[in-house]
Each structure stands twice: as C-alpha cells, then as structure tokens.
A and B are shown apart, each in its own frame.
Chain A
Amino acid sequence: MKRYNRWAVMFLMALGITAFTSSCNKKLDIVASNLGSEKLEWQSISDTRAHLMGIYGLMRAALVDNYGHWVYGEMRYGDFTPYSRADLRVVQENKLRSAYPLLKDLTDWRRFYAVINAASLFIERAPEVMAKDKRYTERDMKYDVAQARTIRALMYFYMVRIWGDVPLLKESYDNGSFVELARSTEATVLAFAETELLAAAQDLPYRYAVGTQSYYGESYATWVGVLVNKITAYSLLAHVAAWQGKYINAEVYSRFVIDNYSQANLELLTTPALVNPTDGLFGPSTRAQILAIRSSYELGEATNTGHIESLTLGYPIVTKAKPDIYVSRDTINKLFDDVNDTRFGIDSVSGLVRTNYFTNYNGDIPIFSKIKVIRNGNGDSDFSIFGSNLVFTRLEEIYLLQAEAKAVLNQRDDAIKYLNVIKERRGLKPYISNSPKDLLEEIFLERRRELMGEGWRWYDQIRLAKIKKNNPVMNDLIQKGGIYWPISSDVLERNSKLVQNSYWK
C-alpha cells in the first residue's frame, strides 16, 4: 500500500509539473479584443482604410480640441468678442501666457504631432499591405500615401503659422526610441511641406471613385468632400507660398486651382447656398470640398463640443442663453457697409435684415449664425450637438488669395477681376480700378467679411501687415516674434533641446 501511494504521488507531481509548465502558457495567450496588435495590423485593405481614416480622425481632434482652429484663427485681435469668458478675452488681447487651462492646452503641440506621426507611419507601412493583400492596388496605395503626405504637410504648415519654428520629423521613428530634436527654421519646415505637397499633388486624383470605379469598395458619394484631392494640395501649396511671401508661387498654385476646380466638381456658391445648414458648405452634404473636416450627424460623429457653433450660437438658435463669442453690432456695421450685401444687409424689398451671417441683430447681442449645423442641419434648437464641417479652405477663399497674389505682383486688373467675382456673388458693387480705396486693403476686407468664423482672420492680418507694413501693432509683433504662440511648459520640459519663443520668454 505504501509503495502504491508513493508511486501515485510521484506520478501526480511529475504529471502536474510537466503539464503546467509546458502547455498552460497557451491559455495565457489571449488576443486583446479592443486593440490591434503588431502581428495583425497592416495586413489588408481594411487596415489601410482604418489607418487612413485614423489620420483624418486625429487631424479632426487636433484642430477642434479646445476650439483651437477658431481660437488660433479668429480670436487674437479678431472680430469676435467674448461675452463673458475670461480665457477667450485674454486671447483676444494677446495675453497668451495667462494661466487658464484653455491657453495651457492650446500652447501644446503634441496633438498635431500625433497626426504627423500617424501619417509618417502610414507612408512607411502601407507598402507592406500591398505585398500581403492583392485587393490593395497600386493606385489605392498611391492615393493613400499622397493623402497622408498632404495631411502631414498641412499639419506642419498649420503649426508654423502658430509657433514659427518647429521640430521637423520626416519619419515616424516607430521603435520606442524617442530622440530629442531641436526646432527647424520656419523656412526649412515649409520647404519640406512644399516638396511633399508637390509630390502628393502629382499622385492625388481630382475625385475618388469616379463612375464605375470604387475606392475601398465605396462609391463617389461616400468620399466626396471627405478626402483631400489634387485641388487640396494646390490650395495648400498656394497658402504655404503666400505665408512665405512667395507670391509668384502662390499665384501659380492658386491659379491651378481656379483653372481646374471644375474637375473636382467644385463651384462658387451663392450666399444662401453657402450657409444652408443641410446642403451648404458646412452641412453634411455630398458637396465637393477643397478641404473640410467632417463630423456627420448621420454617421454618429456630431458632438456637443469642438464646433464653432458651441462658441457662437445662443438663444434663440439653441437653448444656451448667451453665446461665448459674438461679433458686436459696431463691427458688423463697420464691415458690412453695403446694404445689398447678401451676407448681411437690409433687404430692399422687405426692409428686413438679412440673416445669412447674423441673427438677432436687433436683439441684445447679435448671434453669428453663418454656421449653424444643429444635428444634421435640420435639428431643432433644443439639442445642441453639431455636425458642421470644419472648412479649412474653399473656392471663394482661393479666388481671394489669387486676387491677393495678383495685387502683390502688381497685376491690378487681374486682381480686380478675381475680387469682383466674389463681390458680385455677394451682391456688392464691383471694385473699380480708379476706386480711391486701396486694392489690397479691399481684398483683405472682402476676406474678412467672406471668411468670418472660418479661422483666417488672424493669419490674414499678419499677411496684410507683412505686405503693407502699415499696422504698427502687427509690425511690432511680427518683428519680435509675437505673432507666434508660446510653447507650453509641458512640451518644453519633455524636450531639452527646445527653447521658448523669444517674445514669450
């Protein structure tokens, strides 16, 4: 009996130990269901699509976080006035070192670099998929990589406008070694952006999934107005050039857009068509776009925050009593001096105030309601989630840029022609060449009216001041580097090679 038991025990032990240490390891191999692993990613076209959309998604988050696009672009010495928010007021007054959380967050450039990193990673890894998945064609990869390059260049351009010199990373360095890099000059970064955009422009189509073709199995309607295209690349090229003062290039690039926009199904819009909340430029329509970042309500991406409507709308359009920011009656009257202006003016027939840009003009404070896509644009006032597109640039803007370039290059007649294309569409009297008003000032004034609330005002002020050198405040800021934003202390602490912008030291 004793012998039997000893045998049994030893057998049990031996068995147990071998069984456990060898094969139970497998029980511990579980695939996380909520994450993609290195092994399973970059295998098929569904991966490339997810990663491509991921870049767009990151870009959306980068631009709308803390309403960045509008706070950077509209608030500093802008036409909008905060109603009661002190953090927005200090931006308006250019006191960007204040201690508000909003400013701390907006001085952090990490989220832009996330887009850049994702784009670089895509450019590096997408070729792997072509080797593995036959459905991923050369054409698709060309389109995809070109999109990633365009977005990466856009992010660099966007950051340069905000911070001036920024570190330039051309690869993802996706290996866990995070080397500190110093800032490259604005010129270097923009030169990189320009090269990238030029290369991408060659590869990008005007339209995706034309006719019987499909792109990722989806038709034209799915992609129109969503993805960046050839026109986008040239529009960005024009802006990169204009920002550097290279107006010869800016003229060439923007003329390309004007000559070829119809190939991308773009068109110039009348004011009512522009502001229509459902099928206007900002609505979730199948309208072609040069560059719009989408948040379709129908697709479940409409949100309560991250849209200009959250800042500008108030009662009666939404239930919120007062908007966070508004354009004062004085500013409106000063800017929209022509009663025939279809954006804001008095209707000569009915005698009523036009409401394309503003509502509640006669009320306590006017509501800037040019963009008001509540839900899918049809939503009622009681549920404030917004589905508007963030429109980075549009055809009217490029026309005005072309006019600006022509004016700088002293081609007055052409400049007037392009300016008047827009003026005419807005019901304004054309600019005549012997007008006492300065042409460039007039072009920028038209931009100020036309692009109100689209994140251009601040950069337009800088470009105008750089050309005219007649604005002492701006001249001083440009000279001292005060047009840039400070860099957040968090970013500085993470990279010892960075130094604060001199103006904000």
Chain B
Amino acid sequence: MKRLFCFLFLVPMFPAAKANHLNFWTSKQDTSEINEVDKRLLKGRLATLLKKQGVKDSLNLRNVETLPVVSIPEVLKGQVAGLYVQEATGEPGAPKNMVLRGLGSPLFEIKDAVNVQPTVFINGIPIARDNNFAYSIQQYQFNRIGPGTDNFAGIDLATVESIEVIKDPVKLARLGPLAANGAIWILTKPGKEGERQIFINTYVGLATKPVVTPVNAQYENMFRSIFYNKYGSATDRLNYPGYLSDSTNVNYYGPANWNEEYYKTTPIYGGSIGIRGGNDRANFSFVGGYTKNASSADKTNIERYNALFNVNMAPFKWLNFGATINASRSLRDRNRSLRDRFGEASYVPDLSVPISPGKDMYAQYLDIYKAALDKNTVNFLNSLVTLDLYFLKNLKFNTSLGIDYSEGARQAFFPGSLMETNNYMSSYFGFNQRLVYNNRLEYNLEFQEQHKLDLTLGSSYTQDLYRYNYARAYDGPNDFIKVNVVDGDPQKGSYLVPIGGLYVNRYSNREDFRLHSLYLAANYSYKNLLDLSAVLRYDGSSTMQPDSRWLMTPSFAAKYHLIPENEDNLFNNLGVKASWARIGKPVFTSKFAIGPNYTADLNWGSEKSLVSYNGFAVASRPYSEGWVGYDIKWPYTDHADLTVDGTLLEKKLDFEVSIYQKKDVNQLINSPIPAEYGYSGQIVNGLSVKNTGVDLNLSAKVLSNTETLQWNTSLNLNYNQNKLTALPGGRKQLKVGNRILKVGEAIDQFWLYENQGTYDTEASIPVQNGQKLQFDGVDFAVGDPIWKDQNGDFKINDEDRVLKGNAMPKLTGSFQNYFKYKGFDLNMQWYFALGHKALNQRASNKYNFVNTENTNSLDGIREVFHWQQDVDLNKYPIYNPWSPIVAYRVDQDLFLENASFLKLRSLTIGYDLAKLNNIKDKMKTIRRAYVYVSGTNLLTISKFSGADPELIDFNGYYTGYGLPLSPMVSLGVKLEL
C-alpha cells in the first residue's frame, strides 16, 4: 500500500487539485472565450510540452536530410564536435558505436562498448540499450545473439524535429545518471498550430559495388610457397593443403570471380509522408514512412516501417496534455559469413577446405543458402504522455510517463549442407522495456525586472526489464523442419521432447534495473549579464548495494556575458561559461547489489553454454567472473567545462570553444587476487579515467547576399586524449587479456612488441653466457623476428611489450560547405579522424596461416572474400611461420598501422522547384519542392593498407570482416505543402 502510494504519490492530489482549480478557473473566466493575453500564453505553453535543450550543438538537419542512412549514429557522424561515431561495418542496421568526449572506461570486450556510449533520449525518454548479459552464454562474441540490430535504427529522420548533442555538464546532471556519458536529445515532430502542413519525402538510390582484386589459389600458392621454400620442413611440405597443391583443380585454380556474386549493385529506396496542424487549443502531427536500405555486399539489407503520432491539447487553461507514439518495425538480412554463422552455432566444423573463389561454386553455395532461414525483426515502441498543470502562471507541475519498448526476434535455420551435413536452428526472443515516470514542479520568479529565478524540484523513476529466451538445436531430421517442434501435452511422456531427435539447448535470462532520483535545480539570471545554475541530485539505483545505494551529486555553472546582445559592436555577443558536474554512472547488472553471490560456473575456455551437471542445476561462487565483495560504491563522472562563445561581424561568424575535462572515477573492474582462491579476480571500485580535450565549432556566412551566391561554411573539431589516473588498490598496472592498463597512460593503447627486423643467420641471434636470446623461454631461431629487448634483461617476454598507438583518434571533425544560388544548392561534408592506429589482425591471420588453420578455431576460417588482395604483401617481412614463438602474432608493431583518414562523406546538389513562379502559381500552398541528388562515402584519403580505415572493431583491430562502406547515390524529392 505504501509502495503504491509512493509510486503514484501525486495521483491522489490530482482530483483535489483539479477540482479546486476547476472551480477557481470556471468561476473566474469563461473557458470558451479566451482573451488575447491568455491566447498568447497558451500558445507558448503548448509548445513547451516537448522542449529542446537549447544547446548550440544541435544538428543542422539540412546537412543530413538527403543522406540515405538508417540509424541515428550514422546521421550524427561528423556533425557535432566531440561525438565520434565508429562504424565497424557497412552492414545496414548493424550496431554502431558512439563516443562523446572520449572513452570513460577501457574497451576489452565488445560488451564494454555499451558502457561508454551516450544515451539517446527521444522526447525525453532514454532509449534502453540491449543489455549485454546475453554475451555470457556466447562462446564467440562477434555479434550479440538475437537480431543484432542497432537500437537506434528504428528512428526515421523524417519524424525528427531536432537532434541536440548535450555536453553541458549541468544539463547532463539534470538528466541524471543515464546521461553520464553524454546525451543525444531527439525531439520528434510535434503538432503545430496554424495551417495544415503536409510533407512528402521520397528517394531512390543505388548502393554501388566496391572495387576489389579477386585472386585464386595461384596467388595463395605463390604467397605460401615463399615460406615453404625458405622454412618448410619435409613434413610441412607433405602436409601442404590439398586444395593448393593440385594446380589442375579448376575450383581453386580457375577464374576468381566470386565478387560478381558477392557484390551486387543494389537499389535502396524510402519515403515518408507527414501531416500536421491544429489550433492553439489542440494540435497533432502524423508521420509514416518506409525505408529500405542495403549494402552492395552479401545481399545485406534492412527494411523499416515506422509511424509517429502526436497530439497536444489544452482542454483547460491550467492543463496542457501531450501524447506521442513512435513505433517502428525493422527486418534485417544479415551477412552470410562463415565466421558469424559458426560463431552463433558455437560449433567449429572441419575448416581445412575453403570455399572456392569461382563464381559458379559460390553461386551453388548461395543456392544452398536459399534453404536457410535468417529472419531478424525488431519492433520498437516509444511513447510519452505528458501533462502540465499550472497552479499559477509561474508555478507548473509536470508529470510524464514514458515507455520505451523494443523487442527483437530472430529465427535462424541453416541447412545441413552448410555445416558438415548437420543443420542448425536457433530462435531468439528478447526485449528491453523501460518505464520512465517523471514528476517535476517548476517555479519561476522575476523581480525588479533584473532578477530571474527558476526553481525545479523533480523526481524520476526508471524501471528497466531486460529479458531473452533463446534456444538452439543441431542436427534436425531433415532440412524441411526448420523450427523446433515439441509435444506440448504435459501428460505425455514425450512432453517437450524435441521431435526428430533434435539436440536442443535452451537459455533464458532476465535483468532488472531501477533508478530513482530526486533533484533540485535552480537557474538564476541577473539582467542579461550573468546566468547561474545549479543542480543537486539524489539518485538511488537497484544495482547498488543497499548501504551505498544512494548518491548525492551537486553541479553548478556560471555564465558571464562579456558582451550582451549588441548589433553594433565587432562582437555581437560574447560569453564565457564555466561549469562542473558530478553524475553517478549507472551499473546495468544486478550482480553487485547483493554482494557475495552464487552463480552457475560450469564453463571452460572453449565452452560457454553448459547449464547443468548430470542434469542438475548447480551453484557455486562466481569463480570465473570474479569475487564480489560488500563494499561496492557508485562509480561517478566529473565533468568540467569552460566555454567561450560569441558571434561577430554582424553575426556572420559564430564560434564556440570548449575546454573540457571528464573524469570517470571509481569504476568497477576485475582486479587480480591470488589465484589460489579460485577466482579470476575480485570486482572492486577504483578505475579512474580522465579525458581532456577541446571542442571547436566555427561557422561563417562567407557570402550572405540572398540575391546572388550564398556560401556557408562550418568546421567542427575535437581534440581529445584520455589517461588512466587510478587503478584499484593503488596498483600501477593491470593486465587484462591481451591488454595492459598503466596508470598515467592512455587506455586505448595497444600493447606490442617492437619489431627490429629478422634474424637472418644463426650468427645474428644474440648469445649471452652460452645461452641464446629467448622468447618466453624458447630460443630464437633463424627466421624469427627481432623484438626489441626493452628492459635489457636478455629475455623477451611481456615486460618487453610497450604501449603504442591509440585506437581512438586524437583529432576528429568535419568541414561542411553549403552553397546556394537562387533555387540551387550544394552541400558537401568532409569528415576526418586523425592520429589513431589500427592493428591489422587480418594481415596477421593471413601470415599466421600455420597456426590459424591447424588449431580448430574460427580464426582459421577462409571466407569467400578472403580470395582478394586485401593485405599489402610488400609491407611484411618473411618470418618462419612454423616457429614456436608464433612469428606473426598480432601483438607486434609490425601490424600497427596509421588509420587516419579524410573522407568526402556526402555531397548533395538540389534545386527547389517551389522557387519557380509557374509552379508557385499553380500550387499556392507549396512551400518547398526540393529535388536533389546525393552521394555518400564518395572519396577516402588514407594511408591505411586495408579496405577502409573506418571498418575497425571497437578495440582498434582490423579484421577485414566489416562490409564496405561503398558509395551510395540517391535521387529524391522533398515536398512541403
């Protein structure tokens, strides 16, 4: 009872308040006849239901509205200083990573990437991301189980009114812990009073094929023969792969033209229609759309249907009401790479014979693939109901209920001929459900016309539920039964026994997250000279331990207008603002909240999916995941920012420079303890990372005469560097897998041996006291690489690895130019990222063929697209690939490459037909009839030797698996009536 009361603590107040106010208003005025003052008041009030944040970093929709992209990260790429968007693949709808103002924590595994991303708010509702708990049952983590679709691919740009990127510390503090990594504030198209507006957008386009150089076995044979001639033993030659040794085999030595089947120029298209209108008491908007986006590679595509509906009403003067529903459904065809398929099946078949480089053989393979089923659906619903109650003109109560729900389903079936004659099927259903209940009371005070004070007291309750059910089965009776059928009658002996002798494994899991916050925010401004703001928050999270569940965090900012708004000066305005905020960082797993816990720890290195021993459920301490103690505290982030902004030269030049520092403090990490307790480590607070950098925005109206050529140009830049400032327990360094964290160093660095050549002769191998130089206890031999002995101890081991190169770019930004002449306009965006490195895993795997192909692992898979010249063979020396020191291991700077690039990301040329008089005359209501041609990914300038320097995994490894970001051209019309 008490809980119910708490949850809806204000609901009992509504009837009373309404009743009182009703009496009050009705007695005072006649609602049917509103005077002019009230009209204006109402007009403004309705518009405040969905409110922009009012930050300068808002996206100029003109720059992106013509681009055929599907998801929000793609839309934002390069558009805002400090927001770095990483696209590891050009596969449409696949998840993309966003990082705002630098990494707050190191990325060891793919699941860590979720923890550094900014949160996307749609109409104020934070979108729940896929919880990464599903990875714990996955042996191979190339993709998350399920549809693997970007959480933000369900939002159509046509429904978007504005996108703002929030970096301001105090604004983030007001949004709370979910916005600790920054926020992206999206508002959908709200209803609008006035004449009914209709807009129609459509486009068609083509995803074009990339240029590749396919090769056949002859190329591979020549590549390998170098090693066999130089270092191969007689046995090695005897074991030479059969498909390479027979040069008469037409499958491998025939023409290499797989690319004709693999890459196909593919149409893309889409359209949307919207209508909005209403009056000052009620308005609405509706947008519906369909998009089909595709990549030219591997027949991948995404289809999306979406709809937006919004109504706002002011039934009484004291009550404003708004409701928005945004829904979409996406269907995705994913890539058909062997790695992803076997990775999902967690089954490594015999990989010794690769697929043929010939088109006919590949086409046969694709024919078999037609019997496969790979259905990936995501249904997304985002809805908001918001209510403003005006107790007084300056006292408002807002309550809003937001629901974010997204469910993903995947049905997969692969016929037997694709995997050693045994077929595979899996089904997944999972959802993320978030309920956000916000209440706030706003009070504005203005006195003596100089002082303005806004006070807000708010509370927010967020309740998340993440769930999935997953089943997979192997070796079904035939290739026609594609789903797992069971007998559903509990009375029968065959209850739930899969028909046909399928081997079914079932998994399910759920995770809860609840966050409750109270905050008090105040803004004060003195004339137009000084603005002060402060927020004090009190957040409680269900994933924190009860005695440290609540966290109090303050934040404040001051802005001084050095030059207030002024038309005549050189500077039209100039302000300086300093802000600081502390925000708690949410933890999305409940495993820490209960302290020492028990789990089922049955898995070993190559097996992740066991759930029982002898058919019984098991329990033990979480030895593999690490000990969780009782003293876990909230991690938090401290944002500090100093911004100078201004406009000058009759508002022709606009600039904003921010110097910032972001400290992510006291984060949790698995820290080593003696192995004799059985734990992989203990999870403790204490990891702190500092990001420092500068954001710069500069825009200029170079030519602004509306009669002749107009030219707007803008530049945004971000320079960022991160540094590890602390590790738990005062530790100075920490090894995690193949990485090392060192206090004082960047967290995104690679940990590598430094190459200094090859030991060509026996004499060149250093000898000390009769002992040859060793690598981890193994003598170096002829044909081994020379790795630098950094500490001079005459041993090469981990201590001789150095931190080198950053996976995150140091400087990112874009340069946008917009030209307009009468009805014509041209818009182009150059996008660049500089100063980062990539580790060429693809090259390492190719050279390390002896090890990758002989251990039964997915590293040894040869995909059809590996039959191309994708590795620069001139870059690498010839080592002995059979050497026990693994000469072509990836962790050496031989494979480190500069990944800086400059891209012409987009170019649009358009003409507004509405400017033509005879069209205007015929259709009076026409406001815009814009016809355009646009192209994306048009040009890349880079020294990177792989396909594309953007197609790099979250950890800076280039695997060659990313589908190309090939140029797309599209032709479209935007009509506004």
- Give A contacts to B, CB under 8 Å: 1, 4-5, 8-9, 12-13, 15-17, 19-39, 41, 47, 49-51, 53-58, 60-62, 64-66, 83-87, 90, 95-100, 105, 108-111, 113-118, 121, 167, 169, 173-174, 176, 178-181, 222, 226, 294, 296-297, 299-306, 310, 319-322, 324, 375, 382-385, 486, 489-491, 493-495, 504
Evaluate contact between B9 and A16: CB separation under 8 angstroms: yes
Closest 3 CB pairs of A and B: A97-B777, A114-B678, A36-B598
Interface string of B1-28 (1 = CB under 8 A from A): 0110111011001000100100010000
State whether A50 touches B618 (Cβ < 8 A).
yes
* Inter-subunit contact A117/B590 (CB<8 Å): no
Q: Taking A26-B3, A98-B885 as contacts, is the C-beta distance between A304 and B348 under 8 angstroms?
A: yes
5 A/B residue pairs, CB under 8 Å, sorted by A? A30-B542, A99-B889, A174-B596, A304-B347, A382-B420
Q: Say yes or no: A110 contacts B602, CB within 8 Å.
A: no
A15–B8 alpha-carbon span in the complex (Å): 12
Decide: B613 and A294 in contact? CB cutoff 8 A: yes
Q: Does B782 contact A (CB under 8 A)?
A: no
Contact of A495 among B353, B441, B676 (CB under 8 A): B676
| Nearest residue, chain A, Cβ from B17 | A8
B851 beta carbon closer than 8 Å to chain A: yes
A199 shortest CB reach to chain B, Å: 22
Q: Are A57 and B620 in contact (CB under 8 A)?
A: yes
User: Which residues on B sit within 8 Å (CB–CB) of A319?
Assistant: 349-350, 420-421
Query: Which residues of chain B are within 8 angstroms of A16 by Cβ–Cβ distance?
Result: 9-10, 439, 457, 459
Interface pair B619/A98, CB less than 8 Å apart: no
Q: Please, which residues of chain A bring their CB within 8 A of the CB of B516?
A: 20, 24, 27-28
Contact B678 A115 (CB under 8 A): yes
Q: Is B875 on the interface with A (CB-CB < 8 A)? A: no
Residues of A within 8 A of B595 (CB): 37-38
**Min C-beta distance of B844 to chain A, whole Å:** 14
- Return A5 CB to nearest CB of chain B, in Å: 6
Contact A23 B5 (CB under 8 A): yes
Does A99 lie within 8 Å of B614, measured CB to CB?
no
Q: Which parts of B873-897 form the interface with A (CB within 8 Å)?
A: 882, 884-886, 889
Residue of B nearest to A169 (CB): B676
Within B792-837, which residues are at the interface with A (CB < 8 Å)? Answer: 797-798
B residues 594-609 touching A (CB-CB < 8 Å) = 594-607
Checking B421, B607, B855 against A306 with a beta-carbon cut-off of 8 angstroms, the contacting residue is B607
* CB neighbours of B461 from chain A (8 A): 24, 27
CA distance A31 to B598 in the complex (A): 13
Q: How far does the alpha carbon of A109 sit from the alpha carbon of B595 in the complex, in Å?
A: 26
Query: With an 8 A cutoff between CB atoms, is B395 at the interface?
Result: yes
Asked whether any CB of chain A lies closer than 8 Å to the CB of B755, the reply is no
- Decide if A493 touches B618 in the complex (CB within 8 Å): no
CB-defined contacts of A85 to chain B, threshold 8 Å: 854-855
Given contacts A19-B5, A54-B618, contact A504 B854 (CB under 8 A): no
Verify A383–B675 contact, CB threshold 8 A. no
Complex contact A30–B512 (CB within 8 A): yes
- Selected from A28, A169, A296, A321, the residue in CB contact (under 8 A) with B614 is A296
Other than A49-B616, A50-B618, give 15 A-B pairs with Cβ distance below 8 A: A5-B392, A19-B6, A25-B549, A32-B594, A33-B510, A38-B596, A41-B598, A54-B618, A66-B606, A100-B886, A167-B676, A294-B614, A301-B612, A384-B347, A504-B777
> In the complex, what distance in Å separates the CA atom of A304 from the CA atom of B702?
66
Q: CA A70 – CA B149 in complex, angstroms?
A: 42
Cross-chain contact of A118 among B596, B615, B678, B886 (Cβ < 8 A): B678
CB 8 Å contact bits of B202-228 with A (1 = contact, 0 = none)? 000000000000000000000000000
* CB closest chain-B residue, reference A304: B347
Query: With A37-B597, A57-B602, A174-B596 in contact, is A320–B350 under 8 Å at CB?
Result: yes
Q: How far is the CB of A223 from chain B (nearest CB, A)?
A: 8
Distance (Å) between the CB of A156 and the closest chain B CB?
12
Q: How far is the CA of A429 from the CA of B755 in the complex (A)?
A: 62
Contact A54 B420 (CB under 8 A): no
Measured CB to CB, the closest approach of chain B to A333, in angstroms, equals: 20
Q: How far is the CA of A322 from the CA of B239 in the complex (A)?
A: 11
Please state if A176 and B884 are interface contacts (CB–CB under 8 Å). Answer: no
Known: A50-B616, A84-B239. A495 touches B675 (CB 8 A): yes
CB B354 to nearest CB in A, in angstroms, measures 13
In contact, A50 and B503 (Cβ under 8 angstroms): no
CB pair A382–B422 under 8 Å, yes or no, is: yes
Across the interface, which residues of A come within 8 angstroms of B675, CB to CB? Answer: 108-110, 113, 490-491, 494-495
Q: A27-B514, A50-B617, A493-B672 are in contact. Are A100 and B420 (CB under 8 A)?
A: no
Would you give the shortest CB distance from B472 to chain A, in whole angstroms? Answer: 11
Whether the pair A178, B677 counts as a contact (CB closer than 8 A) is yes
In the assembled complex, which residues on chain B have CB atoms less than 8 Å from the CB atom of A504? 777
Residues of A close to B324: CB separation below 8 A: none
The contact of A36 among B509, B593, B619, by CB within 8 Å, is B619
Determine if B265 is an interface residue (Cβ-Cβ < 8 Å): no
**Chain B interface residues (CB < 8 Å from chain A):** 2-3, 5-7, 9-10, 13, 17, 20, 24, 133, 239, 346-350, 352-353, 391-392, 395, 397, 416, 420-422, 439, 441, 443, 457, 459, 461, 463, 474-475, 503, 505, 509-512, 514, 516, 518, 540-542, 546, 549, 590-591, 593-607, 610-621, 623-624, 627, 629-630, 672-680, 682, 735, 775-778, 797-798, 850-851, 854-856, 882, 884-886, 889
CA distance A15 to B20 in the complex (A): 18
The answer to whether B618 touches A113 (Cβ under 8 A) is no
Residues of B within 8 A of A61 (CB): 601-604
B597, A38: Cβ atoms closer than 8 Å: yes
A12-B10, A86-B850, A494-B672 are contacts. A117–B503 as well, Cβ < 8 Å?
no
User: In whole Å, how far is B779's beta carbon from the nearest beta carbon of chain A?
Assistant: 9
**Do the beta carbons of A494 and B619 come within 8 Å of each other?**
no
- Is A27 within 8 A of B621, CB to CB? no
In the bound complex, CA of A13 to CA of B475 (Å): 64
Q: Is the CB of B855 within 8 A of A13?
A: no
Q: Who on chain B is nearest to A486 by CB?
A: B777
State in angstroms the CA–CA spacing of A183 and B817 once bound together.
Answer: 69
Chain A's closest residue to B673 (CB) is: A178
Within the assembled complex, what's the spacing in Å between the Cα atoms of A363 and B474?
A: 30
Which B residues are CB-close (under 8 A) to A15? 9, 13
In this complex, which of B13, B546, B777 has the most chain A Cβ atoms within 10 angstroms of its Cβ? B777
Of all chain A residues, the one with the shortest Cβ separation from B4 is A23
Q: Is the CB of A34 within 8 A of B510?
A: yes
Among B540, B601, B623, B624, max chain A CB count under 10 A is at B623
Q: Cα distance A226–B675 when bound, in Å?
A: 28
A58-B602, A176-B630, A294-B613 known; A99 vs B885 contact (CB < 8 Å): yes
User: A35 near B590 (CB under 8 angstroms)?
Assistant: yes
Contact yes or no, B505 A181, CB < 8 A: no
CB atoms of A176 and B629 under 8 A apart:
yes
Bound Cα distance A273, B422 (Å) = 29
Bound: A299/B10 CA distance, A? 53
**Cα A359 to Cα B144 with chains together (Å):** 41
Judge whether B606 and A305 touch: CB under 8 Å: yes
Which B residues are in CB contact (< 8 Å) with A20? Answer: 6, 9, 459, 516, 518
Closest to A181 in B: B676
Write the nearest CB–CB distance from B599 to chain A, whole angstroms: 6
Which partner residue on chain A sits nearest B627 by CB separation? A176
Whether the pair A58, B623 counts as a contact (CB closer than 8 A) is yes
Chain B residue at smallest Cβ distance from A173 = B677
| B contact residues around A58 at 8 Å (CB) | 601-602, 620, 623
> B882 to A57, Cβ gap below 8 A?
no
Which one of B347, B350, B596, B615 lies within 8 Å of A296 (CB-CB)?
B615
CB-CB under 8 A from B2, the residues of chain A are 23, 26
Task: Report A360 CB to chain B, min CB distance, Å.
Answer: 16
Minimum Cβ distance to chain A for residue B847 (Å): 15
A210 to B305, CA, bound (A): 64
Closest to B546 in A: A29
Of B3, B352, B854, most A-chain CB atoms within 10 Å: B854
- The answer to whether B617 and A28 touch across the interface, beta carbons within 8 angstroms, is no
Return the contact of B3 from the options A8, A23, A493 (Cβ within 8 A).
A23
Assembly CA distance A215 to B394 (angstroms): 73
